[in-house]
């Protein structure tokens, strides 16, 4: 790992050269019906089934690009005692767990990585702990396999997310440490906690899409607020270049609208996946186009919808409907199970859940060959022979966690797109 890996994301679809993932482990099993809602889940997952499905996902990624596991990266940086102490200090301060500091410091890097992600079971050795209904003194990171959220690659920088829920803040702390200290990454991290920013601001990676090297799209809703978007815009303004920021308001419920990428994702240079009832139909949720140039906001105006706003700035985009075009009930069902949440390996080459059959059929009608992940893994199919395709993975269990293939990836480098 002597060569630095320069982080650069100038689009959602450029050929993928590096991505950070986290294979779900026992933190998934450390969830019960009683704590599922607090852990931001509507149900509990079966680890054995989720692991099998995730294995398909990871195997497809590994055939296409360089993958980095969070656990490996974290273990690497914890070999540095100074980094280890600094990270533990931050976590203990953030979660008010100074009583665990010595225990955490006593662990070797691999053990510490496991404990920081899977949680620490509480010692019932005092009356207070004995009466405590919690099982864990340091709670598991149930959501960490959705690596998209805790950090955001925007152009040449990595923004460290200010998560909307306290239970996920440790994810951001870990990702910041990885980008700041792992010798493989060459990037600048931008953390709102290091600036005089609005204390109530929040933003998460699932709400941020880099459309082009001068265009980003941001969802404003339950996880990303206007102050968080303003912070991102302020940092983008600093380079003095002309940029377009398109903001899409999102409903706060149901929970399937948690992030923008649950209703809108890019598929190709000229195609995107949309949940039509929200993105394309008339409703009360605004689409706002902000233009910045030479360090200033030069215009803020309403647009009809995201695709229309993109067309006005030279991105002639065609929409494909999650769940198909005809039946609202099917659209709702498939959107609920991440039917709009696709991840691009390169232009026109995407991966998503096969369970959303009407969405997959709609992609096929629009020129995407349907390829089962199992056939790729078994080398039954040569994907190089196809110009456009959708790789389908099993997702009956993973989708119950509330996210899809884009949610489970944090890209760090993509090739330039020829528009």
Q: What is the pLDDT of residues 213-226, one digit of tens each?
A: 999 999 999 999 99
More confident residue, 383 or 93: 93
Inform me whether the pLDDT recorded for 40 exceeds 80: no
Answer left, alpha or beta for residue 413, where phi above 0 means left and psi between -120 and 50 means alpha.
beta
User: Looking at the domain assignment, is residue 88 inside a domain?
Assistant: no
> What integer pLDDT is reported at residue 39 of this predicted model?
45
Residue 97: other Cβ atoms inside 10 A: 17
Q: Are 402 and 40 in contact (CB under 8 A)?
A: yes
Q: Which long-range contacts (CB under 8 A, 24 or more apart) does 322-327 make?
A: 322/263, 322/273, 322/274, 322/275, 322/276, 322/356, 322/359, 322/362, 323/275, 323/356, 323/358, 323/359, 323/362, 324/358, 324/359, 324/361, 324/362, 325/276, 325/362, 327/358
419 has a pLDDT exceeding 90: no
Dihedral over Cα of 19, 25, 30, 35: its sign: positive
% of the chain beyond a pLDDT of 70: 96
pLDDT over 90 at 4, yes or no? no
Q: Is residue 247 part of a domain?
A: yes
* Residue at 111 is within a domain: no
Q: What is the pLDDT of residues 266-324, one digit of tens each?
A: 999 999 999 999 999 988 999 999 999 999 999 999 999 999 999 999 999 999 999 99
Over residues 132-143, mean pLDDT: 91
Query: Token digits for 356?
Result: 């959303």
Q: Is residue 201 part of a domain?
A: yes
**Structural domains counted in the chain:** 1
Structure confidence by residue, pLDDT tens digits, 309-319: 999 999 999 99
Q: What is the reported pLDDT for 186?
A: 92
Rounded to whole angstroms, how far apart are CA atoms 395 and 53?
6
> Average of pLDDT values for 189-205?
94
pLDDT band, residue 115 (cuts 50/70/90): very high
Say if residue 1's pLDDT is above 50: no
pLDDT computed for residue 34 by the predictor: 62
Domain that holds residue 280: 5-64+144-173+184-414
CB 406 within 8 A of CB 148: yes
129 inside domain: no
* Mean pLDDT computed over 244-258: 92
What would the mean pLDDT of 244-260 be, rounded to a whole number?
93
Q: Is the pTM of this model over 0.85?
A: yes
Percent of the chain with pLDDT over 90: 85
Position 134 confidence tier, pLDDT thresholds 50, 70, 90: confident
Residue 155's CATH number: 3.75.10.10
Looking at residue 282, its pLDDT comes to 83
Decide if pLDDT at 35 tops 60: no
Report the half-sphere exposure of 336 (CA within 13 A, side-chain side): 11
Q: What is the pLDDT of residue 29?
A: 81
Position 233 scores a pLDDT of 98
Res. 43 pLDDT band, cuts 50 70 90: low
Asked whether the predicted pLDDT for residue 196 surpasses 90, the reply is no
Q: Would 26 be classed as within a structural domain?
A: yes
Average the pLDDT over each of 13-22, 24-33, 344-353 and give the range with the smallest value. 24-33
Chain mean pLDDT for the chain: 94
Band (5; pLDDT cuts 50, 70, 90)? confident
In a domain, 385, yes or no: yes
Residue 2 above 60 pLDDT?
no
Q: What is the mean pLDDT of residues 316-339?
A: 95
The answer as to whether 114 is a domain residue is: no
């Amino acid at each position: 790992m002597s060569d630095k890996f320069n982080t650069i994301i100038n689009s959602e679809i450029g050929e993928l050269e590096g991505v950070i993932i986290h294979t779900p482990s026992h933190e998934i099993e450390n969830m019960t019906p009683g704590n599922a809602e607090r852990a931001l889940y509507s149900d509990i997952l079966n680890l054995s089934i989720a692991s099998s499905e995730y294995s398909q996902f990871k195997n497809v990624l590994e055939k296409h690009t360089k993958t980095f596991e969070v656990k490996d990266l974290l273990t690497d940086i914890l070999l540095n005692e100074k980094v280890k102490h600094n990270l533990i200090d931050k976590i203990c301060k953030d979660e008010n767990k100074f009583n665990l500091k010595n225990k955490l410091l006593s662990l070797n890097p691999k053990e510490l990585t496991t404990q920081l992600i899977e949680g620490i079971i509480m010692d019932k050795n005092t009356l207070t702990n004995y009466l405590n209904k919690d099982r864990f003194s340091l709670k598991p990171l149930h959501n960490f396999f959705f690596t998209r959220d805790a950090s955001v690659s925007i152009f040449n920088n990595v923004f460290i997310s200010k998560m909307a829920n306290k239970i996920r803040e440790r994810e951001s702390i870990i990702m910041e440490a990885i980008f700041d200290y792992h010798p493989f990454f060459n990037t600048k991290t931008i953390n709102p906690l290091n600036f005089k920013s609005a204390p109530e601001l929040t933003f998460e990676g699932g709400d941020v899409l880099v459309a082009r090297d001068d265009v980003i799209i941001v969802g404003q809703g339950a996880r990303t607020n206007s102050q968080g978007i303003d912070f991102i815009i302020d940092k983008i303004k600093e380079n003095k270049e002309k940029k377009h920021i398109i903001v899409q308001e999102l409903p706060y419920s149901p929970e399937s609208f948690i992030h923008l990428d649950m209703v809108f994702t890019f598929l190709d240079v000229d195609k995107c996946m949309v949940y039509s009832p929200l993105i394309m139909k008339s409703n009360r949720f605004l689409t706002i186009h902000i233009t910045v140039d030479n360090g200033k906001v030069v215009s803020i105006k309403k647009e009809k919808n995201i695709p229309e706003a993109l067309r006005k700035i030279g991105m002639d985009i065609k929409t494909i409907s999650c769940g198909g075009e005809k039946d609202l009930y099917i659209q709702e069902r498939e959107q609920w199970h991440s039917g709009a949440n696709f991840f691009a390996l390169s232009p026109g080459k995407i991966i998503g859940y096969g369970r959303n059959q009407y969405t997959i059929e709609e992609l096929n009608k629009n020129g995407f060959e349907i390829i089962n992940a199992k056939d790729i893994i078994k080398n039954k199919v040569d994907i190089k022979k196809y110009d456009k395709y959708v790789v389908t993975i099993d997702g009956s269990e993973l989708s119950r966690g509330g996210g899809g293939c884009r949610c489970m990836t944090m890209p760090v480098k993509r090739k330039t797109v020829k528009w």
